[in-house]
């Protein structure tokens, strides 16, 4: 059965998103520094291995997991030089059948949450895959970023910031075609669901805070990234950016 990303050129999507990519690399490296030891890391929804070089020096064993055979095929070709990496074709939901219970001491779950409808189910699966006291680096599309709140306020919607229900970002046409789910989540809901499923939130970062075409067209990527390094932590306090990264620890 074909995965959604088998029919989409995901690597091309990232070719013009250098700032966003580097912003995520900065966030992941920062959160990895808070994890004392990493033996086995699972990159769930890791696609073609875009982020592997971010953590490959920290882990003895790497599992790159994705439902797309097309993306995994590219990853195998591009990452041929890594001897400590294994590739598994599977959705997150099907990993419970892959004999991976308690396999990982660290899991990356980046650019996947927006495709998830049942948070509780997925967080429960992630918990089962982690060893006791294992760590989860989770990214999700932030419903409550500054631009969204600003637009809602202009339209007179002052309750938007406290509305915890996710927003479906698909167009009406996409919904009719049953396109892949694309949800933006409220940070408070995500944190609550993590706690409900046996995690403790250790840290949080606001990422891609300067994602704006005007800024990107008039300022150098190097300049934007340098600013990004310094604002991810303080801006997380107000959930400023379009992407939120959380470091959580399995405590139950």
Could you state, in order of their start, the residue ranges of all structural domains in the chain? 4-140+185-250
**Residue 30 class from Cβ within 10 Å (0-12 exposed, 13-18 middle, 19+ buried)?**
middle
Does residue 88 come out as left (phi exceeding 0), alpha (psi in the -120 to 50 range) or beta?
Answer: beta
- The answer regarding whether domain 4-140+185-250 maps to CATH 3.40.50.150 reads yes
CA torsion angle 212 214 219 224 (round to 10): -10
What is the full DSSP assignment across 128-173?
Answer: HHEEEEEEEEEEEEBTT-HHHHHHHHHTT--SGGG--S-EE-S-HH
Question: By the 8 A CB rule, do 72 and 87 touch?
Answer: yes
pLDDT in tens, the chain (252 residues): 567 788 888 999 999 899 999 999 999 999 999 999 999 999 999 999 999 999 999 999 999 999 999 999 999 999 999 999 999 999 999 999 999 999 999 999 999 999 999 999 999 999 999 999 999 999 999 999 999 999 999 999 989 989 999 998 876 556 655 678 889 999 999 999 999 999 999 999 999 999 999 999 999 999 999 999 999 999 999 999 999 999 999 998
Residue bearing tokens 């409550």: 144
């Amino acid at each position: 059965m074909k995965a959604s990303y088998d029919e989409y050129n995901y690597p091309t999507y990232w070719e013009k998103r250098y700032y966003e990519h580097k912003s995520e690399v900065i966030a992941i490296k920062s959160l990895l520094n808070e994890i004392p030891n990493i033996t086995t890391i699972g990159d769930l929804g890791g696609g073609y291995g875009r982020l592997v070089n971010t953590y490959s020096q920290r882990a003895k064993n790497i599992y790159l997991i994705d439902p797309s055979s097309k993306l995994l095929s590219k990853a195998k070709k591009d990452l041929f030089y890594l001897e400590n990496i294994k590739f598994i074709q599977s959705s997150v939901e099907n990993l419970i059948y892959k004999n991976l219970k308690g396999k990982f001491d660290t899991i990356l779950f980046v650019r996947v949450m927006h495709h998830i409808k049942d948070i509780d189910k997925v967080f429960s699966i992630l918990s089962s895959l982690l060893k006791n006291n294992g760590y989860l680096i989770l990214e999700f599309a932030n419903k409550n970023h500054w631009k969204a709140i600003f637009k809602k306020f202009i339209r007179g919607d002052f309750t938007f910031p406290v509305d915890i229900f996710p927003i479906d970002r698909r167009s009406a046409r996409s919904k009719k075609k049953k396109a892949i789910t694309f949800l933006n989540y409220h940070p408070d809901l995500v944190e609550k669901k993590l706690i409900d499923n046996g995690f403790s939130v250790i840290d949080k970062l606001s990422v891609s805070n300067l994602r704006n075409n005007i800024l990107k067209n008039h300022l150098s990527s190097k300049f934007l990234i340098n600013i990004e390094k310094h604002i991810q932590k303080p801006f997380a306090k107000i959930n400023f950016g379009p992407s939120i990264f959380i470091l959580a620890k399995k405590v139950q």
